[in-house]
Structure formats: C-alpha cells, structure tokens
Amino acid sequence: MQRSHSLYKTASIDLQTGPWWAFVLERAVEWCCDCAPAIPLPNVKLRLRDPEDIEMNDGHQWTTWKEWYGDLRQLFHGFVHMSVFNYCQRRIRSRIMELDYDRAKEMFYEEDKKFWDEEQDMIKDHQYDPVSERSL
C-alpha cells in the first residue's frame, strides 16, 4: 500500500542532547528575564560607534539609552539572557527527526493530550491548504 506524503502529515521532533546544567542554566536565566521589571531607562545620551547601528538609527550617531535599549527588561534580555542562551546552545546538540503525523500522535498522545486536542481543533478551524491553494 502506498501512502501519500503531505507537509501537513509530517511531524517534526527536535531531539536535544547536552549537559544537564546547560538546560537548567538557560531556563533559570529565561525565568529571570521574564521577571525583570520593565523600568524605562533614563534619557542619557549614548554615542553609537558601530556603522550598522548608526545606519539603523537613521544615520544619527547620537541617541539615548531609552530610545536605544527601551527598558531594563529589554536591556537584560539583550545583554544577559541572549549571552547565556548562546553559551548554552553551543553545548547542546539538536537533531530534527521527521515522522508521520499520525504515528507521532499515536506515540505521544498520552503524554500531552491537551496539545494534541488543541492541534486537532486548530486543523478543523483552518481547512485551507496554503501550499496547494485548495480546500482539504
């Protein structure tokens, strides 16, 4: 029996391996990032040195901390969270495994029924196939 293979009938599973502490560290810093207060930064002048930054700032070399970074949460995200995330990701190997959607549901439904049920509701709500531009 030959089965038709469709983009919508393929499940992708991201298998990640690495030291346990890399996962814990990344999650802990992500939690801190979520908890960081959105306190606006002061309007202190900031001189941009990188030509790309200057170009992004409409060709102006001067801006303010508030205009450039926004608030404390965004500053923490840009300098702390992303640095730790990149550090951890260099220690984590990721491999994408593709398998038949129905087989994946059969294997993992019991672990996360809510996810699979919401997925089915979303599929029912969107009966449009943008790849082939025809209804299912």
> Residue ranges of the domains in the chain?
100-136
At residue 124, does pLDDT exceed 60? Answer: yes
Work out the angle at residue 61's Cα, subtended by the Cα atoms of residues 76 and 68, and round it to the nearest 5 degrees: 20
Reported as a single tens digit per residue, the pLDDT across 8-32 is: 678 888 999 999 999 999 999 999 9
pLDDT at 7: 56
Mean residue pLDDT of the chain comes to 86
The predicted model scores a pTM of 0.66
Reported as a single tens digit per residue, the pLDDT across 91-107 is: 999 999 998 888 888 88
At residue 132, does pLDDT exceed 80? Answer: no
Q: Which residues contact 125 (CB under 8 A, 6 or more apart)?
A: none
Q: How confident is the model at residue 136 (pLDDT cuts 50, 70, 90)?
A: very low
Tokens 């990344």, located at residue: 26
